[in-house]
Amino acid sequence: MTALAEKANIITSSLDFIVNWGRKNSLWPFPYGTACCAIEFMSTETARYDLSRIGSEYVRFTPRQSDVLLVAGTITYKQAPILKRIYEQMAEPRWVIAMGACASSGGFYDAYCTVPGIDHIIPVDVYIGGCPPRPESFFDAMFQLQEKIQDESYMKARAERVKEQLEMIKAKTAECKENAEKAVKNAVSCGVQTIKEGRDNLMKKVAFWKE
């Protein structure tokens, strides 16, 4: 152990820290752009602002490969089921950013057709104000999201996830034990019976030969 440590190729850390470090520095956004906010997101991606500085340069156009659902623009009632479906298709862990006034609250579209904030449909992690917000605001939101991810615990989530599984395993084990005990009891009683029968037979034979 000392020999290995002297070579300085081992670091000790908590698993939470290393997992969160990996997650927060490669957030791949899924752009759900429906209005002018999407244009601001495009300029955030370009070289002038350069979202790749925090590892988010890969804009994935499939929910199965992305971590952050970026809702940029007005969501109408006709679109709401589509947005929900896309959120459900994303693999966990997943986060949602509501970009701009429309996605956060419906904005000035206080009418029959517009959803008053996407938090009626899906949970939201970070809201960005503005109509549309500047790229700097978007960066701010990403930093806030990174801070949030920093505080998350992979192990805790995992413990919760496996809790159910553990309980199931425990229940199954108890059932198996019971079954095994029953089987043993059955076998023992069977054995006792056969021994008894054998003894009875012997007794009968002895009685016969005596006669």
| Cα–Cα dist 28/55, whole Å | 8
| DSSP symbol at 48 | T
Could you tell me the two tokens for 202? 């012997």
151: left (phi > 0), else alpha (psi -120 to 50), else beta?
Answer: alpha
Using rule CB under 8 A, residue 108 touches other proteins: no
Tally: H helices and E strands in the chain: 7, 4
List the one residue from 6, 92, 110, 164 that touches other proteins (CB under 8 A).
110
> End-to-end distance of the chain based on CA atoms, in angstroms?
84
Instruction: Compare residues 113 and 176 and give the one whose CB is closer to other proteins.
Output: 113
Query: Most distant CA pair in the chain: distance in Å?
Result: 116
Among positions 112, 151, 207, 211, the unique one binding other proteins when judged by CB under 8 A:
112
Let me know: does 67 contact 23? Beta carbons within 8 Å. yes
Q: Smaller CB distance to other proteins: residue 111 or 207? A: 111
The binding track of 42-81 with respect to other proteins, each residue x by CB under 8 A or -, is: -----------------------------------xx-xx
Report if residue 88 touches other proteins, rule: CB under 8 A. Answer: no
**What would the x/- binding string for other proteins be over residues 145 to 184, using CB under 8 A?**
----------------------------------------
Q: Is residue 208 within the footprint of other proteins (CB under 8 A)?
A: no
The site for other proteins (CB under 8 A) is made up of 77-78, 80-82, 85, 110-113, 116
